[in-house]
Amino acid sequence: MENGESTIPLIQRIVAVLWPSFLTAGLTTIIVFTLYDPQIVFSCVGGPEIARLGAYTVGFFFFWAINAVACVMSMYFCRPCSKVRGSVS
């Protein structure tokens, strides 16, 4: 941690956002869509008519995107505070 993010290669940072969110998206998809039928969820939010496999797919990528946002925010908040200030001024 003390070494800062400069020692972390770009590829590792990209992976640190996309990969954990992918894993948790998979898990979320399994849990949420086992409990709720994605097709019904879809029609409840006023989405267009869609095949069930399609509803699963869209749901999965939706979860992936949301989780990726969380990962990006974690990464942002992990930056040292002083550096954040520095970049603003």
Partner 1 sequence: MDEQPANQASEGQDAAVERSLYAKREKIYAREVHGVYARLRVLAVLVLLGAYYGVPWLTWGGRQAVLLDLPNRQFHLFGITFWPQDFFYLAALLIIAALSLFFFTALAGRLWCGYACPQTVWTEVFMWIERKIEGDRPRQMKLDKMPLSARKIAIKGGKHAVWILFSLYTGFTFVGYFTPTHDLAAKVATLSLGPWETFWIIFYGFATYGNAGWMREQVCIYMCPYARFQSAMFDRDTLIISYDEERGDPRGGRKRSVDPAEAGLGDCIDCTLCVQVCPTGIDIRDGLQFECIGCAACIDVCDEVMDKMGYPKGLVRYTTEHAVHGEKTHVVRPRMFVYAALLAVLVGALIFSIAGRVPLEVDVIRDRIALYRETHEGLIENTYNIKVVNKDQSRHQYRLSASGIEGLELINTMGEFTVEPGRVLEVPVRLRIDPVNIDRASSKVDFEVFALDNPEIAHVEPARFLGPVLK
Chain contacts with partner 1 (rule: CB under 8 A): 2, 4, 6-7, 9-12, 15-16, 19-20, 23, 30-31, 34-35, 37, 51-54, 56-57, 80, 82-83, 86
State the minimum distance, in angstroms, from the CB of residue 56 to partner 1.
Answer: 6
67: enclosing H helix or E strand = helix 52-77
Q: Which residue has the tokens 């879809």?
A: 42
State the minimum distance, in angstroms, from the CB of residue 62 to partner 1.
Answer: 15
CB 63 within 8 A of CB 29: yes
Classify residue 25 by its DSSP letter: H
**Closer to partner 1 by Cβ: residue 5 or 66:** 5
CB 28 within 8 A of CB 63: yes
**Closer to partner 1 by Cβ: residue 69 or 83:** 83
**Closer to partner 1 by Cβ: residue 20 or 75:** 20
